[in-house]
Amino acid sequence: MTMLTTDIDLSIAAELKRRGDMPLAMFRELVGRVSDIDPHGDLALVNQGWNCLLCMNVSDEFIELVRRLHEKGLMDSRRMSQMEAVMVHAYDGVETYKLPVANKIPKNGYKEKRWAPMLVWAAKTV
């Protein structure tokens, strides 16, 4: 199934490229400022395979946007190390969660939920 790239997706990816890499929670705030998408909600973005929380207080619309940007190759991401997460989140004032930080993710995921802080950036194709 081929997904069409919308103007809003391209616009958000271009703004992300202009601003540089940032934590996923900060990207949520950026989306709210530069688009009509309301990224805030009562959902949690979770990687089920890892049993890890990625970001809280997000909307369905934001989750769908993140999925689309990844699938279309407009956004890349990686898990931050514990040290990076502490430094970046403290410096940027981005929320942290009261869960242990995921370090080395086991093959079958964690038994107890962890927090996997994510860093996102615009793909080179943007």
pLDDT in tens, 57-97: 999 999 999 999 999 999 999 999 888 877 776 666 666 77
Please state whether beta strands 52-58 and 75-79 pair in parallel, antiparallel, or not at all (unpaired): unpaired
- Residue scoring higher pLDDT (125 or 14): 14
pLDDT for position 81: 86
Predicted model pTM:
0.86
Cβ atoms of 118 and 56 within 8 Å: the answer is: no
pLDDT above 50 for 28: yes
